[in-house]
Amino acid sequence: MKQTITIIALLGLLAGCGDSEVPVENNSLVYEQAAANEGRTDADRARDAGRKPAEVLEFFAIQPGMTVLDMYSGGGYYTEMLSHIVGPEGSVIAHSNQAYAGFVGEEATNRYANNRLGNVEILMAENNELALPNASFDAIMMVLAYHDIYYVDPDNGWPEIDGPRFVETLYNGLRPGGILAVVDHSAAPGSPSETGNTLHRIDPDIVTAELEAAGFVLEAKSDVLRNMDDDHSVNMGAPEVRGKTDRFVFRFRKPE
């Protein structure tokens, strides 16, 4: 299993990354190669049709040499591709917690076995214990997880999250000019935030309002994962919509 790091070790790991220069132009081939990499599993590839990872990662402008935090990385679906994109000059911190680790089981263990992703480190931190070194990341990925700020299940290791503190932690962890990449299951317009708990969906307007209040700027939106045939009143895990939900893809930026 890949070594797990603490926040103290994370400070040391990132100390030498702050002066690296990150390219400013995308090369589409980088994203296509990451998705086509032979090391990816058949299970990963089976998800690609519904997730379009090459297009999503290009939209988020993830670049070689970046230092990227993959929040709630789960089994590492995106972590693996991020590892290939940022390359040997970059690094990826794959965040998880006990609830996610229990849910994904052996998927993450197998992905990180034998140091096969050498530029990836794992950060285990529970929801209200997350601490990040200030201004340390070029990008933070939060894919299909923002709604979990409103999920509450203390009996299974998911206590209520202090949302404003959590968002502030992400903001402070990004370098000026850094990217916060958000993908999530869309709830119907006007849905309350509690929909994150009941349907595992979130109204995009709630996300935008909260992140802008924290200081982020909504820079761009992509329709690459929109599905207007989705029934927004159905739980995202229902068999008829699982893997096919209407998803919003927003790129936020921390001002320079």
pLDDT tens-place string over residues 187-213: 999 999 999 999 999 999 999 999 999
Stretch 48-77: mean pLDDT = 96
pLDDT digit string, tens, across residues 65-74? 999 999 999 9
pLDDT digit string, tens, across residues 134-169? 999 999 999 999 999 999 999 988 999 999 999 999
19-33, 120-134, 185-199 — which is least confidently predicted?
A: 19-33
244 located within any domain:
no
Checking if the pLDDT of 20 tops 50, the result is: no
| Residue 121 vs residue 98, higher pLDDT | 121
17 located within any domain:
no
Q: Is 8 exposed, middle or buried (0-12, 13-18, 19+ CB in 10 A)?
A: exposed
pLDDT at position 18: 45
48 located within any domain:
yes
23 located within any domain:
no
Checking if the pLDDT of 2 tops 70, the result is: no
pLDDT at position 5: 60
- Enter the tokens of residue 69: 């935090």
Question: Could you tell me if 230 and 241 are in contact, meaning their C-beta atoms sit under 8 angstroms apart?
Answer: yes
Checking if the pLDDT of 1 tops 60, the result is: no
18 located within any domain:
no
Q: Model pTM?
A: 0.90
177 located within any domain:
yes
249 located within any domain:
no
- Enter the tokens of residue 136: 């340390």
Checking if the pLDDT of 11 tops 70, the result is: no
Residue 124 has a CB neighbour count (10 Å cut-off) of 16
- The letter for the amino acid at 111 is R
Q: Is 87 exposed, middle or buried (0-12, 13-18, 19+ CB in 10 A)?
A: middle
CATH of the domain at 183: 3.40.50.150
254 located within any domain:
no
Tally of domains in the chain = 1
The domain of 205 spans 4-12+28-237
Q: In what order do the strands lie in the sheet with 67-71?
A: 4-5, 120-124, 91-96, 67-71, 137-143, 174-185, 247-253, 217-222
